[in-house]
């Protein structure tokens, strides 16, 4: 006889990984990390190249 709980371990792992990914992305969206300013700005114009960091 096979144990039914052994056959569902892979499914539980996949569902758990998806849950962690969704929670992590939701946290990043709610906390506003996606709206932060970039840390590096490069401008090219007729005066040359200007590289600024926002640190």
36 vs 17, 24, 25, 28, CA distance in Å? 27, 17, 15, 11
Q: What is the pLDDT along the chain (55 residues), one digit of tens a residue?
A: 455 656 788 899 999 999 999 999 988 888 775 555 667 888 899 888 888 887 6
The answer, as to whether pTM is greater than 0.75, is: no
Residue-level pLDDT at 55: 62
């Amino acid at each position: 006889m096979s144990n039914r709980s052994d056959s569902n371990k892979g499914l539980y792992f996949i569902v758990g990984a998806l849950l962690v990914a969704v929670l992590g992305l939701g946290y990043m969206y709610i906390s506003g990390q996606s709206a932060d300013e970039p840390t590096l700005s490069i401008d090219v114009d007729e005066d040359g190249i200007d590289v600024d960091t926002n640190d």
